[in-house]
Amino acid sequence: MKTATAEVRLKSLQLNLERVRRLAPKSHVLAVLKANAYGHGLLPVAKALEDHADAFGVARIDEAIALREGGVEKTPIVLMEGFVTPDHLPLLNKYQLESVIHSPEQLSQFLEAALEEAIQIWLKVDTGMNRLGIPVSQCSEFYQSLSQSPNVKAPIRIMTHFPCADDIGSQMTDAQITVFDEINETKSTELSLCNSAGVIAWPKAHRDWVRPGIMLYGVSPMLGCCGPEHGLEPAMRMTSSIISIKEVEAGQYVGYGATWKSNEKTKIAVVAIGYGDGYPRHAPSGTPVYVNGREVPLAGRVSMDMICIDLGPDAQDKVGDEVILWGPELPIEKIATFANTIGYELLCNITGRVDIRYIKS
């Protein structure tokens, strides 16, 4: 009998990448694999996508090194926040990595370094998110300094990031595109603006490189939507098993804090998954769980290793039966809404205790 097990269908990852290509046919695709490929397992995901993606994007240099040491040899790898200390600079050459530059500190460290080989640079411009990136007004200056450096391989790419592309009613994205297009250097080099939401909802911003993350895993970035609505297949099915079933009488309580009380005599099943596996502790009673072809509600608080679910008085389910916590049968977006979070966080929170099994067909 299995405990918390994430089944990842590699073919779905490839189909989702093909979906990106159909949506953005003129763009190169930088597939985002940060945070352990959104919980799906860095190396197996990279191997499944290396013949399909034009580049991989990661957030930390350790992720990039793990990819190279794991045998991802040819696909370009971009550090999407750049190097964080000058000690990383020689590693960019050693592991053949590309880097974002988003700050004056990075610029001066980079220009002062004596690199063995020129590096592909992605200059990140802040067009309104006010997180990473240089001000639009400094773009020319940065671009010029970089162009003159022997450390830089041409062309310098220019990128920005969207905070509101998931909301088609927001004015922010249009305003950002306008600001971005006014940068003189954007007329003559390769450009990148779009995350998954940009790929889906902002075709005019596709340009030379798109940077999809969440949609590759079959999860929707759009507010109130699920992956299949955009032609995506959820790549992960999070499963476990029922390890106990018992009858409780009306008026009895279930779980820590005695927060759930039965209205009637019913059957309560215990499922071997909890917040120690990454199932969200904030999922309230009533959050759906999929068992034997139907949804049943969570009953009481999520424990570290277990959850309790209300099967109903007439249930025929047995100990050992499979339970699906999210996957093609039960959208992770729906679970995220119940738990007051987003699918991204549920995926990133999957812990090392979960057995990830790869389905090749």
Ligand X SMILES: *Cc1c(COP(=O)(O)O)cnc(C)c1O
Contact positions toward ligand X, by CB under 6 A?
A: 32, 34, 80, 161, 195-196, 211-214, 221
- Closer residue to ligand X in complex, CB, 128/221: 221
CA dist., res. 240 & res. 298, Å (int): 14
CA 142 to chain CA mean position, Å:
30
Q: Residue 332: enclosing H or E segment and its boundaries?
A: helix 332-338
Q: How far is the CB of 355 from ligand X (least distance, A)?
A: 24
- Closer residue to ligand X in complex, CB, 10/58: 58
CB 270 within 8 A of CB 248: no
Q: How far is the CB of 196 from ligand X (least distance, A)?
A: 3
Cα–Cα nearest to 133, from 179, 171, 199:
179
CA dist., res. 323 & res. 2, Å (int): 10
Catalytic residue among 94, 153, 256, 318: 256
- Closer residue to ligand X in complex, CB, 57/255: 57
Cα–Cα nearest to 312, from 296, 329, 289, 301:
296
Cα–Cα nearest to 329, from 288, 277, 297:
288
Whose CB is nearest to ligand X?
213
34 is catalytic: yes
Long-range contacts of 171-178 (CB under 8 A, 24+ apart): 172/128, 173/198, 173/202, 173/205, 175/128, 176/127, 176/128, 176/129, 177/127, 177/202, 177/204, 177/205
- Closer residue to ligand X in complex, CB, 215/308: 215
Q: How far is the CB of 126 from ligand X (least distance, A)?
A: 12
Catalytic residue among 34, 143, 267, 279: 34
Name the β-bridge partners of 290: 295, 324
- What residue type is 248 in one-letter code? V
- Closer residue to ligand X in complex, CB, 80/92: 80
Q: How far is the CB of 23 from ligand X (least distance, A)?
A: 12
Residues with catalytic function: 34, 256
